[in-house]
Amino acid sequence: MSAPIALFDVKAQQALIREDLDRRIAAVLDSGRFINGPEVAELEEKLAAFAGCAHAVGVSSGTDALQIAMMAEGVGPGDAVFLPAFTYTATAEVPLVLGATPVFVDVEAETFNIDIADLERRIAAVKKDGRLKPRAVVGVDLFGLPADWTAIEAICAREGMFALDDAAQAFGATLGNRRLGCWAHATALSFYPTKTLGAYGDGGALLTNDPDRAELYRSLRTHGEGKTRYAVERTGMNGRLDTIQATILLAKLALFDGELAQRKRLGAAYDAALAGRVGVQATPPGAENAYGLYTIRLADAAARSRVQAALTEQKIGSGIYYPKPLHHQPAYAAHHAGCIAGGPAPLPVSEALCDQVLSLPMHPYMSEADATRAAGVVLAAL
């Protein structure tokens, strides 16, 4: 049997940078500056430069990045926050934590990203219903593919809404020759270990071109502090990025461009083998996928089970992201049912995708031959 292919691999990368990691971590241990040390500021500068935006603010997780961004806008009770139903729970839980109401929007079958026409319909329905105020749109760049930010920004400008990019899976992706981080009013990043740029624990960041927002994010991540530590100007949270995680990310940034290039090559290898045989995530003109995950769409749950069993037999990793749409999750179902009088319209694409999608191995330390092999197992199982 051929060698196993892992869905993710964080060990191969570590072998390349272990000496640098050890040196950097030792320096933090020697300094004793474990919270907001100078490495955090250095990382923020380099993240902003990479994304081509003015400001980056390191925070404790991708979820906290979403929460801090919404807190800064005053999102709360009576507000409607529009977001795709086909995504991870963090995107939806933050509005509820703040007292706002998530309004789930269907996604496109081809891109898996938020359906702009359905977004328009749901904004109109909320306005007609009158109980909630359309307040924000959270666009998710699912699996690494940028959402249609030109359209989302235009809608938010027209409606006076906040545009927040949840780019947790997509750091390094581009749209119209601009990297994510330059789009929307703010962009939330996650540095969970399996992301395109991952720490060795939780971490995140907010990117923005707005200096006032950046200043507010820095205050909110540190208990609402003002110019001095004990001048508390607002209700904030404990959302700081640990210095050790920042220094790990600094070491990893040296490899990041090359890793993104390999992810792109792997995506092309998968597409060459699978396009026209199974559903693949379509990349619109002008967009470039960062391939946080490579996800295919099969006919139904039975076909997916056959394919996943065949992959497991060959020791090839796979995953289901996501097995249930958010509006069917117990935590959100009642909010979804009551957000519009008479109940909201159905979300058929999100519901169907949850029975169809399967993610294949995708990390920069596998080869194009590995991708072709995994694709061959998929096709043989159909």
DSSP letters, 338-353, are HSSTT-PPP-HHHHHH
DSSP string of 263-278, one letter each residue = HHHHHHHHHHHHBTTB
Q: What is the mean pLDDT of residues 137-155?
A: 98
Q: Which of 255, 217, 251 is nearest to 234 (CA)?
A: 217
Contact 35, 242 (CB under 8 A): yes
pLDDT at 338 over 90: no
- 3-class state of residue 236 by DSSP: coil
The least confident of 166-180, 223-237, 289-303, 358-372 is 223-237
- 3-class state of residue 51 by DSSP: helix
Asked whether the CA dihedral 111, 112, 116, 117 is positive or negative, the reply is: positive
Alpha helix stretches (DSSP H) within the chain: 11-31, 38-51, 62-73, 90-97, 116-129, 149-159, 211-220, 243-274, 301-313, 333-338, 348-356, 368-381
Tens digit of pLDDT for each residue in 296-327?
999 999 999 999 999 999 999 999 999 999 99
pLDDT at 343 over 80: no
**Residue 165: how many other CB atoms lie within 10 Å:** 29
pLDDT attached to residue 339: 85
**Structural domains in the chain plus CATH codes:** 11-106+113-252 (3.40.640.10), 256-381 (3.90.1150.10)
Percent of the chain with pLDDT over 90: 93
pLDDT attached to residue 229: 79
* Tokens coding 345: 């319209």
Tens digit of pLDDT for each residue in 347-362?
999 999 999 999 999 9
pLDDT at 231 over 90: no
pLDDT attached to residue 230: 85
Tens digit of pLDDT for each residue in 253-292?
999 999 999 999 999 999 999 999 999 999 999 999 999 9
pLDDT attached to residue 337: 84
Categorize the per-residue pLDDT at 95 as very low, low, confident or very high, splitting at 50, 70 and 90. very high
Categorize the per-residue pLDDT at 80 as very low, low, confident or very high, splitting at 50, 70 and 90. very high
Q: What is the mean pLDDT of residues 69-78?
A: 98
Helix axes 243-274, 368-381, angle to 10 degrees: 50
pLDDT at 201 over 70: yes
pLDDT attached to residue 345: 80
pLDDT attached to residue 353: 98
As a whole number, the mean pLDDT across the chain is 96
The least confident of 126-140, 264-278, 338-352 is 338-352
Residue 321 amino acid letter: Y
Contact 152, 84 (CB under 8 A): no
* Tokens coding 256: 């990041």
DSSP string of 136-148, one letter each residue = EEEEE-GGG----
pLDDT at 99 over 80: yes
pLDDT attached to residue 1: 63
Task: Please report which helix (H) or strand (E) contains residue 164, including its range.
Answer: strand 162-166
pTM: 0.96
DSSP string of 269-302, one letter each residue = HHHHHHBTTBEE----TTEE---SSEEEE-SSHH
